[in-house]
Amino acid sequence: MANKKGGKDKVLTISLKGVSAEFHAKFHELCKSNNLTQVEAAKVLLQNYLYCSLDFTKEDTKIIDSALVIAPKTYNKKIKKAVLRCANSIVDSNTGDGTTDITTPKSGHAADRRADVLLDLIFKDNETAPNWYDKKFITGTSFLKYALRLKDISDVAVTTSKAVIDRCLERRSALIASHHSEHGLNDTHNLKAHYEILKLANLDVSDKIKEV
């Protein structure tokens, strides 16, 4: 890719100041072997980072480096398959047609559907709550408390796995944000509601004492 200016081709580059000679050489070779300008290569690297921005420890990187030395092509093919498999699973869990049996044990899809059902129930409870302090700002903690309470009082299939709850909150983050906005809920709501309920309970006790 070149930029036409004044009738001459201008190679697009980025600044690589402050990097080691080894890094510079590897980056240059990456550009050359893939027929990319430095800017195009940087865009590819950024895109790959966004696709797989994994937090590897030093021990993790040692293992990966060893695998790359032994069989880089095999490693890359398997990683690509694993990433796509994970991506497809997330897309399926977010766009399912609702036919998944939520009672199926040891099923990721079923667990995700159970979490979605719980989230819908929380939405409905907030929509029908008689008082502002009866509503819940949806967090991992409030979601889990709701699931545990529902598990004790109903036959609704629930999930109490932190991983599944976290997945649900991330997948439905836009919907949850819209719900919070609609009901005027923010991250201080649950604490304020807790103290309001305590205050009302104390007032009720005081009134009963006075009656006696």
pLDDT at res. 211:
58
* Count of structural domains within the chain: 3
Contact yes or no for 147/164 (Cβ under 8 A): no
- Residues 123 and 68 placed together within one structural domain of the fold: no
Residues 79 and 125 in one domain: no
* pLDDT score, position 97: 55
Q: Do 203 and 114 fall within a single domain?
A: yes
Structural domain includes residue 76: yes
Q: Does residue 102 belong to any structural domain of this protein?
A: no
Domain-ending residue, one of 95, 116, 146? 95
Its domain, for residue 70, covers: 56-95
- Asked if the structure places residue 205 within a domain, the reply is yes
Q: Are residues 177 and 128 in the same domain?
A: yes
Same domain for 206 and 130:
yes
- Separation of alpha carbons 95 and 143, rounded Å: 21
**Domain membership flag for residue 27:** yes
Successive 10-residue mean pLDDT values, the chain, 212 residues: 46 75 89 89 88 87 92 91 85 66 73 90 96 96 93 79 92 95 96 94 65 54
In a domain, 202, yes or no: yes
The pLDDT score that the predictor gives to residue 78 is 92
Domain contains 103: no
- Residues 47, 62: one domain? no
Please enumerate in sequence order all residues whose Cβ is within 8 A of that of 180, keeping only pairs 6 or more positions apart, or say none: 137, 138, 186
Query: Based on the domain organization, do 49 and 60 belong to the same domain?
Result: no
Among the candidates 66, 95, 124, a domain finishes at: 95
Residue 41 inside a domain? The answer is yes
Q: What is the pLDDT of residue 99?
A: 61
Q: What is the CA 52 to chain-centroid distance, rounded?
A: 13
122 shares a domain with 151? yes
Residue 65 and residue 42 share a domain: no
Note the pTM of the prediction, 2 decimals.
0.61
Whole-angstrom distance, CA of residue 95 vs CA of residue 168: 12
Show the DSSP H helices in 34-107 as ranges. Answer: 38-51, 58-70, 72-95
Query: Are 29 and 77 members of one domain?
Result: no
Q: Are residues 91 and 112 in the same domain?
A: no
Cβ atoms of 27 and 16 closer than 8 Å:
yes
Same domain, residue pair 60 and 32: no
* Rounded CA separation 51/92 (Å): 18
pLDDT score recorded for residue 209: 59
What CA–CA distance (Å, rounded) separates 136 from 30?
A: 51
